[in-house]
Amino acid sequence: MEGWIKIHRQSINSSVWKNAKTWYIWCWCLMKATHAPVKFPFNGQDVELKPGEFVTGRTKALKELKNCSVQNYKTAIEYLKSTSRITTKVTNKFTIISICKWEQYQSQVTSKLTIKVNNQPPATNQPLTTYKNNKNIKNNKKLLPKKTNPLMLTRGQCQAYLQEFPGLTLEELKEQRLKCNNHMGMSSSDYTNPGLFFKGWLRQFMDEKRQKEFANRKMKEYPEISEEQRQRNIKRLSKIKTKLKGVI
């Protein structure tokens, strides 16, 4: 696999960047996608891929994604779908993953690509994939933030979110809505379904909140003590040990 892909610096402000596994799998998708149309035979039928698409399967993906569990893979793929970064087309043999807005960010190429595909079927049961990541020219054009309509919540929607996410307060819901709107306004991504993205945003917020609450509970169970208190405890234990010796 040759060539390179573009990754905008604004990615560091995206929600995908915040989760190492999701970012890992997102970059894997970008690197697997073909830069030009490709057609190949598989199980007696022709499979066609457009720029920004690639063929994979869960077993094959996990072999390529080192130190990635099935749950990591499923969670990341579902999140990338919910944030309109990818779409998937599942068959009984394989899955075609498509990168959304591929042409907008990755299509600047200098040379025409000629793809030659072997007409013979592959030796294994995996589809033959030819990925021609041909060299791209440098593009100095900056990706400007997209104009996204701010997400507004009705009273009924607020109640629905509070029921769906136990432990979420109304104040937290309002605060996260503002943060999510700010993020979508600054991002270069085109959020076609802001409501679905906000639900994923809340899910991540609640996961982080539970982790903090768990850590706080552990801190209360095992509170930190001063050096002075530690020395007093040692003296008390020594006295108790002396008394026990006399009893025993």
Task: Show the domains of the chain with their CATH numbers.
Answer: 9-106 (1.10.10), 144-248 (no CATH)
**Pairing outcome for strands 86-90 and 95-99:** antiparallel
pLDDT tens for 14-72 read 889 989 999 999 999 999 998 888 887 766 678 889 899 999 888 889 999 988 899 99
The answer to which of 113-122, 152-161, 188-197, 206-215 has the lowest mean pLDDT is: 113-122
DSSP assignment string, 152-215 = ---HHHHHHHHHHSTT--HHHHHHHHHHHHHHHHH-SS--S-HHHHHHHHHHHHHHHHHHHHHH
pTM score above 0.75:
no
CA distance 190 to 192: 6
Instruction: Say which DSSP state 144 is in.
Output: P
Q: How many H helices and E strands in the chain?
A: 9, 5
Give the pLDDT confidence of 56-74 residue by residue, as tens digits.
888 889 999 988 899 999 9
**Bridge partners of 47?**
40
**The pLDDT value given to residue 110:** 38
Q: Where are the alpha helices (DSSP H) in 84-154?
A: 102-106
